[in-house]
Amino acid sequence: MSPRPGFVLEVDRSTPPTLFWHGEGFRLERLPVGSRVLYGPEPVAALEDPVSAIRGALLEPLGDSEPLAALLRPGMKLTIAFDDVSLPLPPMRRPDVRQLVIEQVLECAAEAGVDDVVLVAALALHRRMTDAELRHALGDRVYDAFAPHGLLRQHDAEDPDDLVHLGTTDQGEEVEINRRAAESDLLVYVNINLVAMDGGHKSVATGLASYRSLRYHHNPRTMQHSRSFMDQERSELHSSNWRMGRLIARSGVRVFQIETTLNTDTFPEQFRFLQRREWEWTARDRAGFLASSKALERTPPRVARTIFHSIRAPHRMTSVQAGEVEAVHARTTANVYAQQLVAVEGQSDVLTMGLPYICPYNVNSIMNPILVACLGLGYFFNMYRGAPLVRAGGVLVLSHPTPWDFHPGHHPSYIDFFEQVLTESTDPVEVAKFEQAFATDPWYVHLYRTGHAYHGVHPFYMWYWCAHALEHLGAVIVVGGDRAAVRRLGFTPATTLADALEMASDVVGPDPSVLHLHSPPLALADVRP
């Protein structure tokens, strides 16, 4: 049976309670009659033979690119860059799509007699991947062939010897990227497009860039002018990356882009109730929900976190395209839209959403309060095209425990940002005044370069991701969160959803219209105001 498209359900008296993620747990909430619930499309079928599809894409590239085999020759310098641990979410079951693609690229390189090959994880300012994470992403064959010889590297945005300044765009944006990538005869970038924001020129211009370069598009102004950054046509974040990407191409860096899309089959069989519409839950789904939610209520948070982070998603590849960056990305974006777009008529006064245990920046880590804000106000709020799901001055209601808890190894600068910066202001423009001090702090730089820490400036970027939502919304209410942590974020805590909706009516007026963004599966709202 072909997958059903997404749709908007109007809640009536017969509608069963709606599932909300709540960190490492779930809640069933009864939404008021007349509320709407946005359900994403069901996962589309995966490619039957992904390896053949990859080989086909390499042989028949898009745009003005030659086939990969024609671009390879003995004696050349080849760099293969790939997306880091932030994609996909949750991490996918083996074989990871990066392994499948990179193995085929290496097959071509071997046939062409290319000796000088280096693999680079495109971290930008993210934490370095662990050996286990690299092995999972690349597979044993690739890892064992490259890592022992130092040919599997992780991009270091603070290594002056491994960065090269390529120039300045007509908007004054400096472009500085990984030297090995820039000086290679061919840079192959292997991407995973989970949402419409990923990929395109952003892969190289962000993933392999330095702080000096990233600050031109990771700032409050850019984020406030990206409406949304899931819609590249209306995203200043993407405009900036596209200017940089074109400058990179003009500088002589030859990029062969390989982009893949995955379906939204996010959770394994034991959590299949998460992906199903509540009124279609079978006895098995209900038993699964009850067993897991009751067990999680009695499980220490640390153990629950370990359980959830051990989930490997059954994501599978739905398309692969290769060749010239913009032509490839146009096809990829169309594929993502085809999988995720849902038409929504009109905005609502109140938007509700349950936030899961994971976002791109806490894989195998802790979802700290700043990441909770980023996931809700940065990612889910921006899952729209056209207009936001909630009207200007409306209220966003999040459901998440929002623990006052940080991973000291992964997020050291987040702790100081939370304690020192958010106590001063929660306005992204005001917050930005503290950016330089964090970005250049030698201790954070040291932890980023030698440990597994996110760059010192990263919590600022997380806060900037919220800038558009913070400017747009009248209030943000967090249900079931740590009250002190929620207040520190500048949000309002609520105990129950009913309380939150009552509080929201103080902002937007009585009998507000409510829309709930149900996830998973992922949905991108095509809102017609």
Chain residues binding other proteins by CB under 8 A are 9-17, 27-30, 278-281, 283, 286, 289-290, 496-498
**Is 289 or 379 the residue whose CB approaches other proteins more closely?**
289
**Is 12 or 48 the residue whose CB approaches other proteins more closely?**
12
In the complex, least distance from residue 163 CB atom to other proteins, rounded to whole angstroms? 51
- Nearest by Cα to 456 from 195, 214, 227, 270: 214
Q: What is the 3-state secondary structure (H, E, C) of 120-152?
A: EEECCCCCCCCHHHHHHHHHHHHHHHHHHHCCE
**Is 40 or 90 the residue whose CB approaches other proteins more closely?**
40
Give the amino acid at 502: E
**Is 238 or 516 the residue whose CB approaches other proteins more closely?**
516
In the complex, least distance from residue 269 CB atom to other proteins, rounded to whole angstroms? 17
In the complex, least distance from residue 286 CB atom to other proteins, rounded to whole angstroms? 4
The CA distance from 173 to 170, in Å, is 7
Q: Determine if the peptide bond prior to 300 is cis (ω within 30°).
A: no
Give the amino acid at 102: I
Sheet holding 255-262, edge to edge: 152-154, 116-122, 77-83, 186-193, 255-262, 317-323
State the number of CA atoms in the 13 A half-sphere of 163 facing the CB: 21
In the complex, least distance from residue 360 CB atom to other proteins, rounded to whole angstroms? 28
User: Any idea what DSSP says for residue 378?
Assistant: I
The CA distance from 98 to 91, in Å, is 12
* Tokens at 182, concatenated: 């820039």
**Is 14 or 233 the residue whose CB approaches other proteins more closely?**
14
Q: Name every residue whose Cβ is closer than 8 Å to that of residue 195 and which is 6 or more positions away in sequence.
A: 230, 336, 340, 379, 383, 522, 524
Q: Name every residue whose Cβ is closer than 8 Å to that of residue 468 and which is 6 or more positions away in sequence.
A: 223, 224, 226, 227, 228, 381, 382
**Is 195 or 397 the residue whose CB approaches other proteins more closely?**
397
**Is 396 or 497 the residue whose CB approaches other proteins more closely?**
497
In the complex, least distance from residue 283 CB atom to other proteins, rounded to whole angstroms? 7
**Is 267 or 289 the residue whose CB approaches other proteins more closely?**
289
Reported for 495-502, long-range contacts at CB under 8 A and 24+ positions apart, including other chains, are: 497/20, 497/29, 497/31, 497/352, 497/397, 497/399, 500/352, 500/397, 501/32, 501/350, 501/397
In the complex, least distance from residue 337 CB atom to other proteins, rounded to whole angstroms? 25
Number of residues that this document lists for the chain = 529
**Is 64 or 283 the residue whose CB approaches other proteins more closely?**
283
**Is 218 or 518 the residue whose CB approaches other proteins more closely?**
518
**Is 15 or 425 the residue whose CB approaches other proteins more closely?**
15
- Nearest by Cα to 274 from 15, 14, 518, 88: 518
- Nearest by Cα to 364 from 174, 84, 21, 148: 84
In the complex, least distance from residue 272 CB atom to other proteins, rounded to whole angstroms? 14
Q: Name every residue whose Cβ is closer than 8 Å to that of residue 161 and which is 6 or more positions away in sequence.
A: 179
- DSSP character string of 236-304: HHHHHHHHHHHHHHHTT--EEEEEEEE-S--S-GGGGGGGS-GGG--HHHHHHHHHHHHHHHTS-HHHH
In the complex, least distance from residue 289 CB atom to other proteins, rounded to whole angstroms? 5
* Tokens at 120, concatenated: 């680079």
In the complex, least distance from residue 297 CB atom to other proteins, rounded to whole angstroms? 9
**Is 30 or 254 the residue whose CB approaches other proteins more closely?**
30
**Is 16 or 409 the residue whose CB approaches other proteins more closely?**
16
By three-state DSSP, how is residue 377 classified? helix
| Residue 32 to residues 347, 389, 434, 506, 515, Cα–Cα distance (Å) | 17, 18, 42, 17, 10
In the complex, least distance from residue 369 CB atom to other proteins, rounded to whole angstroms? 21
* Tokens at 326, concatenated: 């913009």
In the complex, least distance from residue 53 CB atom to other proteins, rounded to whole angstroms? 24
Give the amino acid at 27: R
In the complex, least distance from residue 527 CB atom to other proteins, rounded to whole angstroms? 20
In the complex, least distance from residue 18 CB atom to other proteins, rounded to whole angstroms? 9
